[in-house]
């Protein structure tokens, strides 16, 4: 649970940095990103609307999983997300093999006790990201997107069944089967689109508006633009 809470608030925390040796060095240091906080309806209004185009998409254009946030821990991004989201921590064996542990798949409310039964879902699927602007990115930026642990909503551990049911669909065509998860899901979808400057098509936008002006009108969206 401590790991889960740390992940939830990690995107809003400022990194601690060593004291810089001179005023000039301090002036040269980049400013920390500040989280944007708004209502779901206002957040939906910030997403640009364009037609989508999947021409040229292949999953291999988004390199994943890479060595993760801690290149020295022997774990890739998938394993690091599993460790961060565990409500009961697994044992980490040689080669970052995870044994034991407990997770809650929020899409369907299922408790899972085997890491192998979980997929790491890209909140906005790779194909959808490509359609929505990532086709113009560099390979390095697509890799950063595919392994994004800088926001706790970008990657989420869920049952393989729900992840594969979702596939590359947007909220116009798929929502989590657990009704209590749907407002959270819409908020996190929009937060991810805004974090990475992605667009929406007309059907997607209309679906988002239905939720933001109806059952999810009290949902708050927090996001930090990606570097």
| Residue pLDDT, tens place only, 33-44 | 789 999 999 999
Q: Residue 26 above 60 pLDDT? A: no
Arithmetic mean of pLDDT, 20-45: 69
Q: What is the pLDDT of residues 136-147, one digit of tens each?
A: 999 999 999 999
Q: Residue 45 above 50 pLDDT? A: yes
Does the global pTM surpass 0.75? yes
Q: What is the pLDDT of residues 160-201, one digit of tens each?
A: 999 999 999 999 999 999 999 999 999 999 999 999 999 999
Measured distance CA(34)–CA(146) in Å, rounded: 22
Q: Packing angle between helix 182-195 and helix 202-212, nearest 10 degrees? A: 130
Q: What is the 3-state secondary structure (H, E, C) of 54-94?
A: CCCCCHHHCCCCCCCCCCCCCCCHHHHHHHHHCCECCEEEH
Q: How many other C-beta atoms are found inside a 10 Å radius of the C-beta of residue 17?
A: 8
Measured distance CA(27)–CA(42) in Å, rounded: 34
At 146, list the tokens.
Answer: 């595919």
Q: Return the pLDDT at 31.
A: 54
Q: What is the pLDDT of residues 105-136, one digit of tens each?
A: 999 999 999 999 999 999 999 999 999 999 99
Q: Which of 202, 194, 199 is nearest to 172 (CA)?
A: 202
């Amino acid at each position: 649970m401590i790991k889960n809470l740390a992940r939830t608030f990690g995107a809003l925390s400022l990194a601690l940095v060593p004291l810089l040796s001179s005023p000039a060095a301090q002036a040269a240091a980049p400013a920390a990103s500040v989280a944007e906080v708004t209502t779901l309806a206002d957040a939906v209004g910030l997403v640009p609307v364009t037609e989508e185009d999947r021409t040229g998409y292949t999953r291999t254009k988004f390199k994943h999983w890479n060595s993760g946030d801690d290149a020295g821990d022997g774990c890739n991004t998938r394993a690091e997300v599993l460790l961060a989201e565990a409500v009961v921590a697994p044992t980490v064996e040689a080669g970052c093999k995870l044994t034991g542990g407990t997770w809650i798949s929020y899409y369907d409310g299922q408790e899972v006790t085997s890491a192998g039964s979980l997929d790491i879902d890209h909140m906005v699927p790779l194909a959808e990201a490509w359609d929505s602007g990532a086709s113009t990115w560099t390979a390095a930026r697509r890799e950063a997107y595919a392994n994004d642990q800088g926001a706790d909503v970008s990657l989420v551990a869920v049952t393989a069944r729900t992840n594969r049911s979702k596939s590359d669909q947007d909220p116009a065509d798929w929502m989590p089967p657990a009704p209590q998860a749907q407002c959270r899901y819409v908020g996190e979808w929009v937060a991810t689109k805004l974090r990475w400057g992605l667009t929406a098509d007309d059907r997607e936008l209309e679906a988002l508006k239905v939720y933001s002006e109806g059952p999810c009108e009290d949902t708050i969206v927090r996001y930090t633009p990606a570097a």
